[in-house]
Structure 1
Amino acid sequence: MTAWSTDDELFTLAERELFTCVVGDIMDKLCLFHQFLPPQIRPILNEAIVIGRAMPVLGGNVFEESSPGSANRLMEKPFGLMLEAVDDLQKGEVYICTGSAPRNATWGEMMATRATKLGARGAVLDGYYRDTKGLIRMNFPTFGYGSYGQDSAPRYKVHDFRVPIEIGAVRIHPGDIIFGDIDGVCIVPKEAEREVFSKALEKARGEKLVKKSLEAGLSAVAAYSEHGIM
Structure 2
Amino acid sequence: MTDKDLFALMKEKLFTAVLGDVLDVLGHRRQFLPQPIKPLAQGTKLAGRAMTVLEADFPEGKGHGPLADMPFGLMFAALDDLKEGEIYIASGSSFEYALWGGLMSTRALHLKAAGAILNGYVRDTSEILHLGFPVFSRGAFAQDQGVRGKVIDYRVPIDIEGIRINDGDLVFADDEGVLIVPQEAEKEAIALALEKVATENEVANAIRKGMSSQDAFATFGVM
Normalised-by-shorter TM-score class: over 0.9
Name which of 208, 213, 216 aligns with 2:209: 216
Q: Give 4+ residue runs of structure 1 displaced > 4 Å after superposition.
A: none
Taking only aligned residues, the RMSD between alpha carbons, in angstroms, comes to: 0.8
Q: Structure 2: which amino acid aligns with 1:100?
A: S
Tell me how far 1:111 sits from its aligned partner: 0.5
Name which of 133, 136, 147 aligns with 1:140: 133
Residues 6-85 of structure 1: matches in 2 within 5 Å? Answer: 6-64=2-60, 67-68=61-62, 70-85=63-78
2:64 aligns to what SS in structure 1? coil
Asked whether the 8 Å contact 1:35–1:169 carries over to 2, the reply is no
Indicate the residue corresponding to 1:178 in structure 2.
171
Matched pairs, number: 223
Q: Structure 2: which amino acid aligns with 1:28?
A: D
Gapped regions of structure 2 (runs ≥ 5): none
TM-score computed with the length of structure 1 as normaliser: 0.95
Q: Distance in 2 between matches of 1:76 and 1:153?
A: 11
Deviations 1:136-172, CA, capped at 9 Å, x for gaps: 1111110010111111111110000000000112100
Of residues 142-151 and 212-221 in structure 1, the stretch that sits farther from structure 2 once superposed is: 212-221
Indicate the residue corresponding to 1:161 in structure 2.
154
Q: Distance in 2 between matches of 1:175 and 1:129?
A: 23
Name which of 81, 100, 103 aligns with 1:107: 100
Q: Structure 1: which amino acid aligns with 2:124?
A: D
TM-score computed with the length of structure 2 as normaliser: 0.98
Asked whether the 8 Å contact 1:26–1:196 carries over to 2, the reply is yes
Q: Distance in 1 between matches of 2:135 and 2:197?
A: 25
Tell me how far 1:73 sits from its aligned partner: 2.0
1:135 aligns to what SS in structure 2? helix
Tell me how far 1:218 sits from its aligned partner: 1.0
Tell me how far 1:57 sits from its aligned partner: 0.2
